[in-house]
Amino acid sequence: MKYLGILVLALLLFASCSGNHDYAPKPRGFYRIVFPKKDYQQYVASAPFTFVYPKYAYIEPDKKPDAKPYWLNMQFPQFNGTLHLSYEHVLSQKEFDELIEDAHKLSFKHTVKASSIDQGVIYYPDRKIYGIYYTIDGNAASSIQFYLTDSTRNYIRGALYFNNEPRLDSIQPVLTFVKKDVDILIKSFRWK
């Protein structure tokens, strides 16, 4: 009787272990991203500038305690991202030079994580819009930064951030999608 119990237990264990149970870990997956239809609207406010921005984004004033007038945050809620826009009214050539140098320093601050930083010139003399566009590749916190100026009195700086860990392989589709919106913002930008 004792051997029969051991035999039955051994048969049950053997039966449960037999068969083809080929288990393999599944690869890491990513969320499915549904991109909205590209549709734009005009930003019209008391600010000394205007531009076109996507309807799936919304603009709110910067709420930081040190925020100045016309500092804006363009929120992309479905992508968990923000385009920070900081406007400055320039009073002197010294201040203008400092703002340009700050934009350069803030963009190149990402060299620790960036694989490359490319600069492109923004030049629309008919609208008095000049600037630099920084494309930051790699796992940097910000992938797009730029500044626009009329080279005399107005200056605005933009920086795109996503509110998650910067991993280029996972944010690349969203970054490519939002980069087109930033390009349209720059092309439609006007000083008042």
For 91-111, what is the mean pLDDT? 90
Residue 88 has pLDDT above 80, yes or no: yes
Residue range 162-172, pLDDT digits in tens: 988 777 777 88
**pLDDT number for residue 39:** 96
Q: Are 176 and 162 in contact (CB under 8 A)?
A: no
Question: Domain 39-191's class?
Answer: alpha beta
| Mean pLDDT for all residues in the chain | 88
For 64-92, what is the mean pLDDT? 95
Higher pLDDT, 112 or 130: 130
Q: Is the pTM of this model over 0.85?
A: no
Q: What is the DSSP string of the chain?
A: -HHHHHHHHHHHHHHHH-S-----PPPP------PPPP-EEEE-SSSSEEEEEETT-EEEE--STTPPTT-EEEEEGGGTEEEEEEEEE--SHHHHHHHHHHHHHHHHGGGGTEEEEEEEEEEEGGGTEEEEEEEEEES-SEEEEEEEE-SSSEEEEEEEEESS---HHHHHHHHHHHHHHHHHHHHH-EE-
Residues 6+ apart with CB under 8 A from 179: 143, 144
Residue range 55-69, pLDDT digits in tens: 999 999 999 999 999
Nearest to 89 by CA among 19, 15, 150, 6: 150
Residue 188 has pLDDT above 90, yes or no: yes
